[in-house]
Structure 1
Amino acid sequence: MRFLHTSDWHVGKVLKGRNRLDEQRAVLREIVSLARTHEVDAVLVAGDLYDSAAPSAEAQELVVRALMALKETGAEVVAIAGNHDHPRTFDAYRPLMNVAGITLVGSVRTAESGGVVSFTAPRTGEPVRVAALPFLSQRHAIRAAELVTKTPAENSAGYDQLIRELVASLTAGFGDDAVNLVTAHLTVTGGAMGGGERAAQSIFEYHVPAGAFPADAHYVALGHLHRRQTLPAACPVVYSGAPIAVDFGEQDNTASVCLVEATPSTPARVTDLPLTSAKKLSTITGTVAELADRAAAHADDYLRVFVREPARAGLREEVQDLLPGALEVRIDPEFAAQVEVKRPSGGSEHATPGELFAEFCGERQIVDPRVQSLFTRLHDDVTAG
């Protein structure tokens, strides 16, 4: 059988105030096209379909249409909730999506109540079992462990032990007669962060060892870390990575989905399929003149710009006129003037508005006498009535 592994769509994510729904729509359309072209039997979406637990109506419509389009290719579609998603909302939509042939798993479930999804590969006929483990925060882990494993929480050694128990329970029915898959949204020890994750939910007590997954799993489809990577383990433990860079910390990541081929008796074979629909994120540095020379090469990019000139009034606007994709404009630290502004001897409560504004400009490393002059003129106009 063949299946696609994707995760971390983050539909609805805004970059520096820039709406990216059109980009996200193009990327999801590209994933649907790959599913159709490669005639896959299933698509696993390993969490964080949305960027927010309360997504906009437009974001919800885009995700629902994408899931339905994936199903229309003839593939089985299984999607789990990530830490950005709202698990109870996933569960609320579950009956309706089941009618459409799409399986959503929002909360941790027992194997018998939907934690294991079983089907026959539509095109090749192999039996398939998918153990589905949505994101589980530490504060909910004990309750879920009691539900699924019926093991007293007091006997658990920590979060990783709880995850081991959950995985063991969900994969207990794996056998040699089927393709055995696991999909989960979590951090595996030693995984490299992509640059845009919520660090508080990716480190310390939130990580688990790759050894938590059984050797008889043909493939473990993970979400949560945005960098494409495979972790060393007894079975393939794989992050597909995010299909679109969510911020400039991910600008060097390669966007892709994983095409996986497996049979009950052979190991999984993984091929990365690149995704090219999203805009490129780039960081560039230079003087205004140097940036002007490079404008054509970055005409279609979203940019973070470091200007190698001292700050002055109108500099940001000048750069954005040259580079319409410049979403963030900063002064290179080497050119950021260090200005020491002394407080008036009587303290700030006795300072004039002009002195307070000069102090503010100093703290922000804004050195331009025209700015102070403009403030003085505006202040005079206002106070003159």
Structure 2
Amino acid sequence: MRILHTSDWHLGQHFMGKTREAEHRAFLAWLLEQVRVQAVDTVLVAGDIFDTGAPPSYARELYNQFVVELRQTGAELVILGGNHDSVAMLGESKTLLAQLGTRVIPGVGIDLHEQLLVLNRRDGSPGAVLCAIPFIRPRDVLQSQAGQSAQAKQTSLQQAIQEHYRSLYELAEARREAHGGGLPIIATGHLTTVGASASESVREIYVGALEAFPTNAFPPAAYIALGHIHKPQKVGGLEHIRYCGSPIPLSFDEARQQKEVLLVELTAAGLAAVTALPVPRFQPLIALRGSLDELRQQIAEAAALGSAAQPVWLEVQVGGDDYLSDLQPRIAAFCEGLPVEVLRIRRERGTAQAGLQRQAQETLDELSAEEVFDQRLAQETLEAQQQQRLRGLYRQVLGELEGEA
């Protein structure tokens, strides 16, 4: 059986004043072609279909169009909710999409059997049993107890998530036996695991112990398809536990990453092979760093990758501590007549004075909520451990607010 593992589409992302619609449209067309060429049986999307809980109409249109067009290829589609997704919004079309060969698991429900799926091959025969686990919110699996310390709450949450995986895996084993015992069991997840390398666009969704969910807490599935981390990677070097990453760069620090989806081949004996399918770059995105003299040359070189119809999007980070009141006009002069657009200008973090100067140049439109918090935190005299804890608590609040959207 062949499964195409993808995640973190973030349809509808608003990126520094730019829409990603054209990139997402091109990616989905490319993905459909891979399904046909590779004779894929099931496309598995491990969370964060949308960038927000209330995506723009064009993002919903792309989603619905993909469901219809994938149906024509003969492949199944499984959609898992992520921390960016609204459980209610994904769930509202669940019954309708089931008629088009798409199964949606927007969130963790009361009935475990709703997360237990048998995946079929193109000929209709069973090919695998799936523990379809979306993003798990604390309220889904844990009841808060008065008097618990923060660390105790995090430990309880980790144990509750581990128990959820264990219980569902036991049901999967029973389902496998009911089908004669010849089906591999696979699982999904939308979380951060031990050793995972994240990027600035990834919102940490757990704090404390759950910033690093241990790999030994997963059940012994043949393959575990993970989402949430945007950089493709094996977890702990293990072949069968993988993040496929996002299909397009969602922040400038992802600009150098080779994005990919994973073709997973399974047999009755388990995992046979995992093949990375590189995703083409549909929009040039480059982060530049250096002195003004160096940036002049770098911008000219970057322009070679763009065109009048599709200019290169740039982030420019200026090194050095010298304050220049006319920094933006100077950068604009370097770009004049070239097919480039500078979306963000940053000063290299150095002295406190340079930090204050950078803040004077930046506006709230250029900063994420976490960047605003980090800048405010930098003004306090705190130990590194205290800063890390405050960042963790702040990210937890952001995650909970997003979950309520």
The question of whether the paired residues in 2 share the 8 Å contact of 1:126 and 1:179 is answered with no
Counterpart amino acid of residue 128 in structure 1: A
> Alpha carbons of 1:65 and 1:365: their partners in 2 closer, same or farther (altered >3 Å)?
closer
For 2:313, the equivalent position in structure 1 comes to 302
Contact 1:78-1:103 at 8 Å conserved across structures: yes
CA distance in 2, matches of 1:252, 1:182: 29
1:202 deviation in Å? 7.0
Q: Which SS does the other structure have where 1:171 is aligned?
A: helix
Q: 1:315 aligns with which of 311, 321, 330?
A: 330
Change (3 A) 1:81 1:362: closer
For residue 69 of structure 1, report the CA deviation from its aligned partner: 2.1
**Are residues 289 and 89 of structure 1, via their aligned partners in 2, closer, same or farther at CA, if it must alter by over 3 Å?**
closer
**CA distance in 2: counterparts of 1:8 and 1:238, whole angstroms:** 13
Write the distance in 1 (CA, Å) between the matches of 2:255 and 2:61.
Answer: 27
For residues 143 and 27 of structure 1, do their structure 2 counterparts lie closer, same or farther at Cα, with a shift above 3 Å needed? farther
Q: Which has the larger displacement, 264-273 or 317-326?
A: 317-326
Q: Hey, what does 2:62 align to over in structure 1?
A: 62
Q: Equivalents in 1 of 2:104, 2:344: separation in Å?
A: 37
Cα displacement (A) at 1:200: 4.5
**Number of the residue aligned with 2:365:** none
- Percent identity of paired positions between Structure 1 and Structure 2: 30
Quickly say closer, same or farther: Cα 1:143–1:116, change in 2 above 3 A. farther
Match of 1:271 in 2: 275
Matching residue within 240, 244, 248 for 1:244: 248
**1:8-47 residue pairs with structure 2 within 5 A?**
8-47=8-47
How far is 1:255 from its partner? 0.4
Question: Counterparts in 2 of 1:148-297, with a 5 A limit?
Answer: 157-172=155-170, 173-174=172-173, 175=176, 176-201=181-206, 204-215=209-220, 217-232=221-236, 236-284=240-288, 285=290, 286-287=292-293, 289-291=296-298, 293-297=300-304
Letter in 2 for 1:301: V
Q: What is the SS of the residue equivalent to 1:237?
A: strand
Point out the more displaced range, 1-10 or 93-102. 93-102
Distance change (3 Å), C-alpha of 1:202 and 1:223: farther
Q: Aligned partners of 2:332 and 2:20: how far apart in 1?
A: 22
Cα deviation 1:329-379 (Å, max 9, x = unaligned): 245568x9969xxxxxxxxxxxxxxxxxxxx9897379xxxxxxxxxxxxx
Q: Greater CA deviation, 256-265 or 129-138?
A: 129-138
The letter of the residue matching 1:37 is: V
Whether 1:328 aligns to 2:344 is yes
Measure the CA separation in 2 of the matches of 1:113 and 1:104. Answer: 13
Q: CA deviation at 1:54?
A: 0.6
Please tell me the root mean square deviation across aligned C-alpha atoms, in Å: 3.1
- What CA deviation, in whole Å up to 9, does each residue of 1:151-190 have, x standing for no partner? xxx9995222111111111111324421211122111122
Do the aligned partners of 1:127 and 1:178 also contact (CA within 8 Å) in 2? yes
Q: Distance in 2 between matches of 1:86 and 1:75?
A: 25
The residue number in structure 2 matching 1:115 is 115
Deviation at residue 296 of structure 1 after TM alignment? 3.2
Match of 1:297, SS state, is helix
Distance 2:49 2:100 in 1: 18
CA 64–289 in structure 1, closer or farther in 2 if over 3 Å, else same: same
User: With structure 1 as the length reference, what TM-score do the two structures score?
Assistant: 0.78
The 8 Å contact of residues 36 and 73 in structure 1, kept in 2 or not, is answered as: yes
Asked if the contact 1:156/1:162 (under 8 Å) is kept, the reply is: no
Q: Give, as a single letter, the amino acid of the residue that structure 2 aligns with 1:44.
A: L
User: Is the partner of 2:69 in helix, strand or coil?
Assistant: helix
Check whether the contact 1:218–1:235 (CA below 8 A) recurs between aligned residues.
Answer: no
1:320–1:98 distance in 2 versus 1, CA, 3 Å: same
* Structure 1 SS opposite 2:197: coil
- Counterpart for residue 132 of structure 2: 132
> What is aligned with 1:374?
none
**CA distance in structure 2 between the aligned counterparts of 1:94 and 1:329, rounded to whole angstroms:** 43
Q: What displacement does 1:201 show?
A: 4.0
Given residue 122 of structure 2, which amino acid in structure 1 is its aligned partner?
P
Q: Which stretch has the larger CA shift, 184-193 or 325-334?
A: 325-334
Post-superposition offset of 1:277: 3.8
Structure 1 residue identity aligned to 2:115? G
Partner Cα distance (2:85, 2:234) in 1? 24
Q: Deviations over 1:288-337 (max 9, x none)?
A: 64246425334243211135683417334324434532211245568x99
For the pair shown, which has the larger CA radius of gyration, 1 or 2? Answer: 1
Q: Give the residue type in structure 1 aligned to 2:73.
A: T
For 1:328, what is the secondary structure of its paired residue?
Answer: strand
Q: Which runs of 5+ in 2 are unaligned?
A: 145-151, 363-405
Contact 1:3-1:43 at 8 Å conserved across structures: yes
TM-score by length of 2: 0.74
Conservation of the 8 A alpha-carbon contact between 2:184 and 2:270: no
